[in-house]
A = this chain, B = another copy of it.
Amino acid sequence: MLHPQLLIPLLDYASVLVFALTGALVASRAQLDLVGFIFFATLTGIGGGTLRDLVLNRSAVFWVARPELLLLISAAAVLVFFTAHLLESRYRLLLWLDALALAVAVPAGVGVALQAHVSPVVVVAMGVITGTFGGLMRDVVGNELPLVLKQGELYITAAFGGSVTVVSLIEIDCPRPLALIMGAGVVFLLRAGSMALGWRLPVYKARPPRN
């Protein structure tokens, strides 16, 4: 079976790449030039992991240690720049790619945090931070409604559910690679179920809206 020392960097690479694609799609919605595409792809691809690494006080932020990631991101941005006009619905694709990136980034964040020997509660938080902050920065800087604010959709909840899944499975001595893959599955399932089938949790309802 895949060794966690290999699986975690693999998840990191995959989430960076897919988040980069979503950043480039936001750049296409803002009608930027090629360098603007690279900027948003980079911000989205590395945002969550950078915050995680700073908070965990790791000796080097992951993309400083592996600079080829920046080239991979740039290639993804160039690809989107030249092909996005072929797409029927860029926003729909953005949402599904974002779901995929979230599903991969959450266990990647958990995996890195586990290596830092912090409390399980902190590990859960790191999974959520790694999964959500890249997309959050993309939306705040790109003037989009942050996905975390979409009423009634499972987003943070999906990230949280997946993060708790990985940490719980490892607590009961499930092999680490299996736990990471199960966590990714839970995130994607919750997010996809929310988008395609309308799954949701009860939301807070005030009497008068926004007083």
List residues of chain A with CB under 8 Å of any chain B CB.
Answer: 27-39, 42, 50, 54-57, 59-61, 63-64, 67-68, 70-71, 81, 84-85, 89-91, 118-119, 121-122, 125, 128, 132, 136, 140-143, 145-146, 148-149, 151-152, 154, 156-157, 160, 200-207, 209-211
Contact = CB atoms under 8 A, between A and B. Distances in A.
Nearest to A143: B149
* Integer count of this chain's copies in the complex: 3
Given A55-B50, A57-B60, A84-B204, A70 B121 contact: yes
B148 A36 contact: yes
Contact of A39 (B33, B90, B156): B156
Given A141-B148, A142-B149, A146-B141, A32 B203 contact: yes
A177 to B, nearest CB: 25
A131 to B, nearest CB: 11
Contacts of A200: 33
Contacts of A206: 28-29, 31, 84-85, 90
A118 B209 CA distance: 46
A85 B122 contact: no
Contact of A204 (B31, B61, B128, B132): B31
A71 B202 CA distance: 21
B27 A204 contact: yes
B149 A64 contact: no
